[in-house]
Amino acid sequence: MSTTSSPPVSLRLSGVLLIQPFFGGEERTRAEVALDKACRSLSMAVTDYYWREFLPEGATPDHAAARVRGEHVELAEAFPPSMVVVGGFDLLKDCQARYVEATRGKGKLVKVVEYPYAIHAFHLFAYIADSRKLVEMRLFVEEHSSKRVV
């Protein structure tokens, strides 16, 4: 039996696409309060349920896995450019903005693409016009992709 070892694979992450990332916190943001019942795709009761299911027992949405806290965001030196998609009617938009601010505060490139009339998870509903406009992802990938194929 041959025990040839493969050379280590080097992977370069060209970019990070965050489509309405799911961040939270114990204290309610303005958007969470104002948009709690704006649509059926997401409510505060649902986000609270998701956090209870996802986080370790006894943890709150202030847990490091859920909340972005400016100076406490740890990013590697080689953290790639990111694109954050935000919907105007997404109750998590303030938390997403907090992530953008924290990441930019660490000197990282962040492109924000806003859809002012979009609800949370709008891209999953083909009948919503903005879901067909999410071509920004392709443009972001093309801009940050390596031309080299390994």
Q: Is the predicted pLDDT of residue 94 greater than 60, yes or no?
A: yes
Q: Is the predicted pLDDT of residue 149 greater than 70, yes or no?
A: no
All domains of the chain in start order, with CATH: 16-144 (3.40.50.1820)
pTM score over 0.85: no
Give pLDDT tens digits for 13-29. Answer: 788 899 999 998 889 99
Residues 6+ apart with CB under 8 A from 96: 18, 20, 21, 23, 84, 86, 90
**Given its phi and psi angles, is residue 71 left (phi above 0), alpha (psi -120 to 50 degrees) or beta?**
alpha
pLDDT at 91: 95
Q: Is the predicted pLDDT of residue 53 greater than 90, yes or no?
A: yes
The pLDDT of 125-130, averaged and rounded, is 77
pLDDT at 150: 44
